[in-house]
């Protein structure tokens, strides 16, 4: 150990000893107590409302602890979820109450609308009343509903949360499957081997209730939006154009006349009382012809004023005619077999807007695209037909060539056989011609010794000719 290290260690030990001594002296000092009696702390009284709030909070916490003591294993018990969905589908009242369609909810006679908690209670009874694991706890909640209503409320909340989870997951899977699977109503409509079928196998393993829940929420616009289409959806704009039948549908049919021999029950038109400035013989015209217009002054019927001569009294002149006053035409109700209804006015031409032009353009583009697809399909079918015909013709040509080669080979073999037979007959004929006669002199007997001879009838040995050849 070096000298410097030893010095440092000694200083550290001395410092520790000094600190220990000071701590001991501090502990031995007596504790100074304040003189006199301690002061009393006066606490303000707690308000009664605050005490009640604290007690209520404690009760709620205790009740929540008691409610959360039972946890439903929905993922592990698939039969419980199937029971829930089957109960909803089996009851029209429950399905309409939890998943109402468009418009007002149709209720039975004498019944009023019920809250959703009522339907949650019915589903809780169907799911948990006979369940082996949860029937005792659910029966206890039903028994103490008067004193502990939160217990039964917890079971209804479990049903509510499960239904919400099923609906949310179904909407997620609908988005995932996209427009390809939007028009399918059941899993049997999915074609095997497609990409959608592969994805459906995965979804079915994770969520086998997809099509059941989708059917339940299909009529709810807030959960399943309707009215949305794609490029393949046709626009029915005929509903926006008013037709002539709509204008005349409400008008009575007065064109049919009564038979000739039927009594005339038409009431007489009412008589108009005479009024000042109106002649009692004036008829009220109710038609819509052009004759109803008031007479307007023209240049042809204008009168030229005549100058009076001096000394001539005005009494001899005829009083000026009073202007004829006419009442405004009064329309009466159509009378049966008397009045002829006016033809309905032609519907005014509807002014096309940018929306109409856009719709027409979209329809034209879709029709053009469909025709192009049909044309490509026809071309592909024609090409396939030509290719198949070509392959068939090539096969027939190959078969014909092979058959011709076989026939040619057979003919060559037959020709070779005939040649061999002819050559054999020719050689046999030559040998027979060269054979010696019995009366021939012995002088010529040695000439044919080297030639092969045919076997005689007595000899049993092979022919020397066939041996040589």
Chain segment 343-390, per-residue pLDDT in tens: 777 777 778 888 888 899 999 999 999 999 999 999 999 999 999 999
Q: Which of 204-207's residues contact partners 24+ apart within 8 Å by CB, and which partners? A: 207/169, 207/170, 207/173
Q: At what angle do helices 135-143 and 116-128 cross, to 10 degrees?
A: 140
User: pLDDT: is 24 or 325 the higher one?
Assistant: 24
In a domain, 316, yes or no: no
Q: What is the pLDDT of residues 108-118, one digit of tens each?
A: 544 557 888 88
In a domain, 336, yes or no: no
CA distance 382 to 375: 11
pLDDT band at 252 (very low <50, low <70, confident <90, very high): very low
**Residue whose C-alpha is closest to residue 98's, from 123, 80, 73:** 123
CA distance 102 to 222: 10
Q: What is the pLDDT of residues 404-428, one digit of tens each?
A: 999 999 999 999 999 999 999 999 9
pLDDT value for 339:
55
In a domain, 153, yes or no: yes
Portion of the chain with pLDDT greater than 90, in percent: 16
- Contact at 8 Å (CB) between 428 and 421? no
Average pLDDT value for the chain? 70
- Expressed as residue numbers, the domain containing 129 is 50-102+112-216
In a domain, 462, yes or no: no
pLDDT value for 236:
64
pLDDT value for 412:
94
- Contact at 8 Å (CB) between 201 and 210? no
pLDDT higher than threshold 70 for residue 279: no
Q: What is the pLDDT of residues 212-233, one digit of tens each?
A: 888 888 755 555 555 455 555 5
In a domain, 78, yes or no: yes
pLDDT value for 69:
67
In a domain, 371, yes or no: yes
pLDDT value for 404:
94
pTM over 0.75? The answer is no
Q: Which of 165-170's residues contact partners 24+ apart within 8 Å by CB, and which partners? A: 165/74, 166/81, 166/85, 166/209, 166/213, 167/213, 167/217, 167/223, 169/207, 170/207, 170/209, 170/210, 170/213, 170/214, 170/217
In a domain, 128, yes or no: yes
- Contact at 8 Å (CB) between 327 and 278? yes
Q: Which of 200, 216, 232 is the last residue of a domain?
A: 216
144-153, 294-303, 327-336: range with highest mean pLDDT = 144-153
Lowest-confidence pick of 200-209, 272-281, 441-450: 272-281
Q: Which of 197, 216, 235 is the last residue of a domain?
A: 216
Name the strand (E) or helix (H) holding 215: helix 210-216
Number of domains the chain is built from? 2
In a domain, 449, yes or no: no
């Amino acid at each position: 150990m070096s000298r410097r290290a030893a010095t440092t260690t000694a200083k550290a030990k001395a410092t520790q000893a000094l600190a220990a001594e000071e701590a001991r002296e501090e502990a031995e000092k007596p504790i100074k107590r304040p003189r006199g009696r301690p002061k009393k702390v006066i606490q303000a009284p707690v308000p009664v409302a605050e005490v009640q709030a604290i007690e209520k909070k404690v009760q709620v916490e205790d009740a929540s602890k008691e409610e959360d003591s039972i946890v439903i294993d929905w993922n592990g018990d698939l039969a419980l979820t199937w029971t829930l969905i089957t109960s909803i589908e089996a009851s029209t009242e429950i399905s309409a109450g939890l998943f109402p369609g468009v418009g007002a909810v149709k209720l039975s006679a004498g019944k009023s609308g019920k809250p959703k908690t009522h339907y949650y209670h019915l589903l809780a009874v169907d799911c948990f009343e006979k369940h082996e694991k949860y029937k005792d706890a659910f029966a206890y909640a039903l028994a103490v509903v008067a004193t502990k209503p939160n217990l039964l409320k917890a079971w209804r909340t479990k049903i509510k949360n499960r239904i919400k989870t099923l609906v949310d997951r179904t909407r997620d899977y609908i988005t995932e499957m996209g427009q390809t699977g939007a028009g399918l109503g059941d899993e049997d409509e999915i074609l095997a081997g497609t990409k959608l079928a592969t994805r459906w196998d995965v979804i079915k393993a994770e969520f086998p209730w997809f099509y059941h829940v989708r059917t339940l929420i299909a009529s709810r616009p807030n959960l399943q939006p309707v009215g949305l289409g794609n490029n393949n959806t046709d626009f029915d704009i005929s509903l926006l154009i008013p037709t002539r039948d709509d204008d005349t549908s409400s008008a009575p049919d007065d064109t049919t006349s009564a038979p000739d021999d039927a009594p005339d029950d038409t009431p007489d038109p009412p008589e108009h009382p005479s009024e000042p400035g109106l002649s009692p013989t004036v008829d009220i015209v109710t038609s819509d012809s052009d004759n109803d217009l008031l007479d307007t002054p023209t240049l042809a019927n204008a009168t030229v004023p005549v100058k009076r001569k001096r000394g001539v009294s005005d009494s001899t002149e005829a009083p000026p005619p009073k202007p004829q006053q006419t009442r405004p035409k009064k329309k009466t109700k159509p009378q049966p077999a008397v009045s002829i209804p006016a033809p309905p006015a032609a519907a005014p031409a509807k002014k096309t807007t940018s929306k109409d032009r856009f719709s027409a353009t979209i329809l034209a583009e879709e029709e053009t695209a469909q025709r192009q697809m049909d044309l490509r399909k026809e071309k592909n079918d024609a090409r396939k037909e030509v290719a198949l015909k070509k392959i068939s013709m090539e096969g027939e040509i190959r078969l014909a060539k092979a058959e011709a080669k076989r026939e040619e080979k057979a003919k060559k073999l037959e020709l070779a056989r005939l040649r061999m037979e002819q050559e054999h007959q020719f050689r046999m004929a030559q040998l027979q011609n060269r054979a010696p006669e019995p009366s021939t002199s012995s002088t010529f007997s040695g000439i044919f010794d080297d030639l092969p001879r045919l076997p005689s009838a007595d000899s049993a040995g092979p022919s020397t000719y066939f041996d040589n050849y």
